[in-house]
Amino acid sequence: MNSELLRRDWQPERKQPAAAYIHIPFCAKKCGYCDFNAYSGYKDGTKQRYVDAICHEIITRGAGANPLTSIFFGGGTPTQLPTSALVKIIQTLRETLGITPDAEVTIEANPNDVLLHDWNLLRDAGVNRVSFGVQSFNPSVLRMIDRTHAPEDAATALETVRTAGIHNLSIDLMFGLPRQTLADWRRTLEHAFALDVPHLSIYGLILEEKTPFWGRLQRGRMALPGDVAQAAMLELAMDLTLIAGYDRYELSNYAKHGLQSRHNRVYWMNDSYWGFGAGAVGYDNIDRTTNVMRPSRYIDAMLSDQPLAFENTETPDLAGSIGETLMLGLRLPEGVQLTDVSNRYRLDIRELFASELIAGVDAGLLEVAGDAVRLTRHGTMFANDAMMLFIA
């Protein structure tokens, strides 16, 4: 990086978000591979207090802010809350910040929670997109990864939500799982295609330290597909989704009929967003804040009117902010428009990263096409290597 170009006083300005992420940290059972801020065993009374705490946070922080164009309930498992609680949070967002008429409102759902909900009420509240955590259609793989649903629950869940008139649906699938073979992964993909969902999110398992699976792996009590097998699974997913009519519009996301996730695009453009709830991350174009992680501490802080306690605030410097924008933008097949990023940061990105761009192209990871820099097919297989070129 040509750091000389960064020696100046200009800094980005704060930007009020038009997107909100709502974190619901409750799960029926903690999966052995999961390092999300998610917990099992919370009682209904605590969940109710958690909803009150989120509504309080929304009212306290969001009053007078821009109307929302996208809302995403993630977790954890948002469908572990009752319908009335989810509706209450949406109503609080509507009354406090406003929600535009065409806003995308997504709820992540566990397939076997779906029948517990009134999807007509959720639809009337504004929910118009549901993302199901399916992961696999192989029952023994599902058991291995601690999922509580059966393969057939996915079809029932999709039908239930479709009956309520919600058709913008997604399912999450994972590869690189214990006992998963390439043939098994192919069957899972084909099963998903047969359900005719317009959106798939496909992730490789990444084990983090301190998860139970990590411990089992270290002790030799679990085997995972190796790097070559995982690469073959990713290539198979890329090939089969293309044949099935899906457009790979982001490294892990595939859509039909243009039904891309509008909310996630906010992250990939490194745009600003609210984060409400325990451990939720928010970004205002300068600070990236993380709320208090533990739900009980979060509830106590919110309901006792303490000043909002962020567990962590990161303020990337100019180089860090530009690097993040490039790294996230490279997740998109169209890549990063160099002029847009140059205008955003008021300097010439091509000049700033001249040597990194050359190195990336020489390594076969990047291609520069006119104003765009993007990953090659080889680069999509080694995306981290390409992205790290731009992180100081």
- Reading the block at residue 279, the tokens are 């451990």
Q: How does DSSP classify residue 273?
A: B
Q: Which helix (H) or strand (E) holds 325?
A: helix 318-329
Closest to ligand SF4 by CB, 175 or 345: 175
Decide: residue 192, CB within 10 A, 0-12 exposed, 13-18 middle, 19+ buried. Answer: buried
User: How many other C-beta atoms lie within 10 A of the C-beta of residue 48?
Assistant: 16
Closest to ligand SF4 by CB, 156 or 339: 156
CB-CB contact of 220 with 213 (8 Å): no
Closest to ligand SF4 by CB, 34 or 328: 34
Identify the CA nearest to 113 among candidates 173, 68, 160: 160
Torsion of CA 274, 280, 284, 285, to 10 degrees: -130
Closest to ligand SF4 by CB, 51 or 332: 51
Find the shortest distance in angstroms from Cβ 135 to ligand SF4.
8
Find the shortest distance in angstroms from Cβ 153 to ligand SF4.
13
Find the shortest distance in angstroms from Cβ 115 to ligand SF4.
17
Find the shortest distance in angstroms from Cβ 271 to ligand SF4.
24
User: How many other C-beta atoms lie within 10 A of the C-beta of residue 228?
Assistant: 8
How far, in Å, are 64, 156, 285, 315, 391 from residue 13 at the CA level?
19, 47, 7, 12, 21
Closest to ligand SF4 by CB, 76 or 335: 76
∠ CA 259-265-271, rounded to 5°: 155
Identify the CA nearest to 286 among candidates 88, 70, 11: 11
Closest to ligand SF4 by CB, 31 or 332: 31
The 281-283 sheet, strands edge to edge: 281-283, 288-291, 310-314
CA 316 to chain centroid, in Å, comes to 21
| Binding site residues, ligand SF4, CB under 6 A | 27, 30-31, 34, 36, 38, 75-77, 133
∠ CA 354-327-202, rounded to 5°: 140
Find the shortest distance in angstroms from Cβ 88 to ligand SF4.
22
Find the shortest distance in angstroms from Cβ 340 to ligand SF4.
34
Closest to ligand SF4 by CB, 41 or 67: 41
For tokens 């892990």, name the residue: 252
Closest to ligand SF4 by CB, 26 or 119: 26
CB-CB contact of 28 with 81 (8 Å): no
Find the shortest distance in angstroms from Cβ 22 to ligand SF4.
14
Please state, in angstroms and rounded to a whole number, the distance separating the CA atoms of residues 324 and 390.
8
Closest to ligand SF4 by CB, 38 or 81: 38
Which DSSP string do the residues of 39-80 spell out, in sequence order? Answer: BS---HHHHHHHHHHHHHHHHHHHTT-PPEEEEEEEES-GGG
Closest to ligand SF4 by CB, 36 or 382: 36
Find the shortest distance in angstroms from Cβ 38 to ligand SF4.
4
Find the shortest distance in angstroms from Cβ 180 to ligand SF4.
16
Find the shortest distance in angstroms from Cβ 26 to ligand SF4.
8
User: How many other C-beta atoms lie within 10 A of the C-beta of residue 290?
Assistant: 17
